[in-house]
Structure 1
Amino acid sequence: MDDDPATRGMSISYLASRQCLSLGVTHADAARHLKRGPFSLVVVDARATDDDGAEMLRSIRAQSEVPVILVVGQHYTVLDRIVSLELGADDVLCAPLNLRELLARVRATLRRHEAGRRDAAPGFQGGYRFDGWVLDQRSRTLTNPAGRTVDVTKTEYALLLALLGTPGRPLARAQLMRATRAHEDIHDRTIDAQVMRLRRKIEADPSSPKLIRTGRGAGYILDAWVEAIF
């Protein structure tokens, strides 16, 4: 949330280009949007506020436990940072705003919260959201960006689940074999065929895949920002 349209638009465009679905709102509209949520994370630009975002933090924490990153001015002191963290900020980012650092802090904050939720409920299986798709482990269903369920086989489900667990990192064919062996009698020579079938279901153009890429001599890589949902 930011009251400067130019800064807000630039940040939203950058995050969207890095596969982070984002919404830019003014401070005045923040409470209304939070009620309509849910949101995975909120970035508050406090540089235009008189109280360095303190009132906004109190307002957010009164209605939500959503992770919050506070963007503050150069005048911010160590004591100010401590107060912000005590008021409920999960991280504080000082100006000048570097969009690459903002993205890194967003991802780090989300990882911490997702790990915390898993530790709090170790037996609970949620799901993953990626590039508009949702894989729900509770119902074992895959939903496309339009909200329609896409049928997948047990092997395709296991392959996708394994790839979602390591986004951006290659999984060797041997690792994918282990991930699917419990579901079907699958061999190394069939992994490529199974990946091709999965691509036909989730890729806009299976002949030129953007989500499941082939790693050079290293199996396959899921190239998407993945959010764990619970």
Structure 2
Amino acid sequence: MSKPDHLLIVDDDPEIRQLLAEYLRDAGYQVSTACDGKEMRRRLELNVIDLIVLDLMMPGEDGLSLCTQLRLTSNTPVIMLTARGSLIDRIIGLEMGADDYLPKPFDPRELLVRIKVVLRRVQSFPTRARVDEAAFVRFDDWQLDTRARQVLSPSGVVISLGNSDYRLLRLLLQHPNRPLSRDFLLNHVFEKDSTPFDRSIDVCVSRLRQQLAPGLIKTVRNEGYMLTCATVASES
């Protein structure tokens, strides 16, 4: 018998944590809970978590900042919960790396369906790619060597990457076929906020485009940049 998927519920409301934990355990899942970001990180260190249900509106570190931090080190799927249901909140949440979004109040049955859908989608990947941990990442007949910080072209040419180009490519590989905004990329590649005339990310994208195949990095109007192929992570 296969081991049940392990879910982590992160919410500052103890009643919601208890209600969801009991409901999802009854549905056959292993469930852990956390009241804030500190406890979430501790749970992630102690357990292999298959999916995180993360509340957006929490005091201190909110769900967006926690999801952003998580995406730098993990591809664990995230479903965000929030009392704010506006389109812009949903877009920001998905942009930060959430896999799905459910506004409060909600029916636990709908959350259960969404959990099943996200887990089925993630587990259907040929390799549950962990770009953040892999030694090699293949994409459209190219290969990134994360240890040497080099790209191997389909014809066997080795391309060394500068620090900013490497960090940009890693971010794009972590979110294939998903547009990433200029602000998001600027913050994570150069660790600074956007200013109206800052074109550093555009210059970085331009350099990568010159080194890679045409069309691999696409400009998505009003959304940002996107890697247009699937990725497969491996240790060899």
- Structure 1 length as normaliser, TM-score? 0.48
Higher Rg: 1
- Structure 2 length as normaliser, TM-score? 0.47
User: Higher helix share goes to which structure?
Assistant: 1
